[in-house]
Structure 1
Amino acid sequence: MKNPSRRRFLKGLFSLSAAGIFASAGGFGYARYLEPRMLETTLIPIKHPLIPKGFDQFRIVQFSDTHLSEYFTVRELLDVIRKVNELQPDLIVFSGDLIDKPHQYRDHEDVVQALAKLSAPYGKFAVYGNHDHGGYGTKVYQSLMASAGFRVLRNDLVNLELIDGSVIELASLDDLMLGRPNYEGVLSRLSKDAFSILLVHEPDAALAAKDYPVNLQISGHTHGGQVQLPLFGPLITPPYGEIYTEGMYDVGGMTVYVNRGIGTTRLPLRFLSKPEVTVFKLEAE
């Protein structure tokens, strides 16, 4: 494991280098106006012996970290929603951080109307991120998502059952930074004989989740660092997103996927960390 103090020092050092990159060759304009709109779709096949035949080719579409604000508007959210629907999801999951500053945001009805356009036959689920709790937004987030047809999970365990009786388990944890995640109370109830998915905003929850029968963890939170440097990686990673920063990991036999999110926070920049929608295609062995 890397030394945290040394890593923070290196991040600070390379942050200075980043300023030089943005200042040259139009880097700032690219990071501010172009890359934040370069939405990518990532297809992740998930093959596992516990996936029932009924769930073969089942498609779970994840989007995350929209951070609605003056820099990412409802109009831009509608473009993401069209993309998600075009992917023909069986299930849609949102892994937190809907609004960047909940205590200042006012376009609530527009958000509800937009999110209500998302459609999946087996439902729409969401978990809390730190920004959803922040700014006294806990009840606001619950209300907005429920009004848009999402089921908001918070330390819950749900069985997804098909017509043929096939079942997979969908677990959730509350936000690690501002919520009250209950690892033992939720994850100890998972069956070792059923394929299980954990939805949790912060990816470093995997450090504890790996000790339970979780097969796939789906997270967001990091934005892939939002700004990366070649050969170095993310300049800044948030708490509970410092170890698993983007993409796929094997953590003690558990698959962890970290989505780079849609919007931005602190600075409206993305560099070498394009926004992302993820499609998980389950495959029965």
Structure 2
Amino acid sequence: MKRRLLRVLWGLAGVLLVIFGVFFYAWQIEPSLLHTVQYEVKTSHAVPVKIAFFTDTHFGKDDTPDRLARIVEEINAQKPNMVLFGGDFFDSYWRDASQIDVNLIAEKLRAIEAPYKYAVWGNHDIGGGAVRVYEQLMEAGGFTLLKNETAEIGELSVRVVGMDDWMLGEPDNVLRVSDDNYTNIFLTHEPDDAPLFAENGADLILAGHTHGGQIFVPFFGQKFLPPGGRHYVKGQYDIDGVPLVVSCGIGTTKLPARFLNIPEICVLTLSDQ
């Protein structure tokens, strides 16, 4: 009887230890990790182009300048021709404004070494109270903020189409771009409108918003996905022949934890077919 009770107690202790380990990893370790994910994209128009795409940083009161400096360092190590940001720079600016040094953040963003830098709005940038600072911050950091606008880079044969936020912006006027000698990159925060972008001339679609579910629990992943990000969660998809890349992003929201969704920077190399 005693042996059986000891086995039960040891088994229970083992289960509790595993649970503690998972929680410790999800709260203390994985959110602080950062890796790059490489994608090869074949297009019919592109000269060789390397793009660094990052999104969903969700900076807030608990962040230190070192975290952004690490992101900048990782991007610069890739030596990209272009850097794109997919929105949700801040988590809740109205809550954390007094503890955020916007000038220091702009200084760090300026240290990103790329000839072309573009960004779009995310729902947290609008709904979290950053409307009054986000555009100025990105411009001070060397980024052009696109809102249902296009930017053509002739020397790279690339056109960036920046869409407004699907949830809180005005994304209804989907821009149709021509199938000319440019590679048309649609940059959007939420991924679920990807089929619409594919119909309107996209050669490549980049999105974030989902955090990959942020905390992945088998069989329950759908419950952690936000509106606008429930059909395409993370990784690469084929949308009627058009590649869609959904990044699981870098930061966290609601809970300061990640599980099986390591923060990432996507590096895409465009080349001729």
TM-score (norm 1): 0.84
Of 167-176 and 205-214, deviating more is 205-214
Note the C-alpha offset of 1:235. 4.3
Aligned to 1:191: 178
What is the CA–CA distance in structure 1 between the aligned matches of 2:173 and 2:90, rounded to whole Å? 26
Given the alignment of the two structures, is residue 113 of structure 1 paired with residue 107 of structure 2, yes or no? yes
Aligned to 2:199: 211
Pairing 1:141-156 to 2, within 5 Å after superposition: 141-156=134-149
Aligned to 1:85: 76
Note the C-alpha offset of 1:138. 1.7
- Residue by residue over 1:216-240, the C-alpha shift from the partner in whole angstroms, topping out at 9 and shown as x without a partner, is 0001111111000246545400110
Given the alignment of the two structures, is residue 250 of structure 1 paired with residue 238 of structure 2, yes or no? yes
What is the CA–CA distance in structure 2 between the aligned matches of 1:60 and 1:48, rounded to whole Å? 14
The alignment-based identity, stated in percent, is 36
Note the C-alpha offset of 1:25. 4.4
The one of 45, 55, 59 aligned to 1:68 = 59
- Is the contact between residue 68 and residue 74 of structure 1 (CA under 8 Å) also seen in structure 2? no
The one of 87, 90, 96 aligned to 1:96 = 87
Note the C-alpha offset of 1:120. 0.3
Give the alignment's Cα RMSD to 1 decimal: 1.9
What is the CA–CA distance in structure 2 between the aligned matches of 1:216 and 1:280, rounded to whole Å? 10
Given the alignment of the two structures, is residue 237 of structure 1 paired with residue 232 of structure 2, yes or no? no
The alpha-carbon distance between structure 1 residues 159 and 70, as it changes in their structure 2 partners (threshold 3 A), is: same
Given the alignment of the two structures, is residue 181 of structure 1 paired with residue 181 of structure 2, yes or no? no
Aligned to 1:3: none
The one of 27, 32, 35 aligned to 1:32 = 27
The alpha-carbon distance between structure 1 residues 212 and 197, as it changes in their structure 2 partners (threshold 3 A), is: same
The one of 123, 127, 136 aligned to 1:130 = 123
- Residue by residue over 1:33-78, the C-alpha shift from the partner in whole angstroms, topping out at 9 and shown as x without a partner, is 1111221101100012232xxx22x100011111011343322111
Letter in 1 for 2:207: S
Secondary structure of the corresponding residue to residue 277 of structure 1:
strand
- Is the contact between residue 67 and residue 99 of structure 1 (CA under 8 Å) also seen in structure 2? yes
Greater CA radius of gyration, 1 or 2? 2
What is the CA–CA distance in structure 2 between the aligned matches of 1:138 and 1:22, rounded to whole Å? 44
What is the CA–CA distance in structure 2 between the aligned matches of 1:272 and 1:242, rounded to whole Å? 18
Note the C-alpha offset of 1:85. 0.6
- Is the contact between residue 60 and residue 93 of structure 2 (CA under 8 Å) also seen in structure 1? no
The one of 151, 171, 178 aligned to 2:161 = 171
The one of 277, 280, 283 aligned to 2:265 = 277
What is the CA–CA distance in structure 1 between the aligned matches of 2:140 and 2:269, rounded to whole Å? 28
Structure 1 residue ranges without an equivalent (≥5): 1-19
- Is the contact between residue 71 and residue 268 of structure 1 (CA under 8 Å) also seen in structure 2? no
The one of 248, 251, 254 aligned to 1:266 = 254
- Is the contact between residue 192 and residue 232 of structure 2 (CA under 8 Å) also seen in structure 1? yes
What is the CA–CA distance in structure 2 between the aligned matches of 1:111 and 1:196, rounded to whole Å? 30
- Is the contact between residue 155 and residue 182 of structure 1 (CA under 8 Å) also seen in structure 2? no
Secondary structure of the corresponding residue to residue 113 of structure 1:
helix
Letter in 1 for 2:125: D
Letter in 2 for 1:169: R
Note the C-alpha offset of 1:169. 1.5
- Residue by residue over 1:197-252, the C-alpha shift from the partner in whole angstroms, topping out at 9 and shown as x without a partner, is 00000011213212211110001111111000246545400110010010000111
Aligned to 1:14: none
Structure 2 residue ranges without an equivalent (≥5): 1-14
- Is the contact between residue 63 and residue 259 of structure 1 (CA under 8 Å) also seen in structure 2? yes
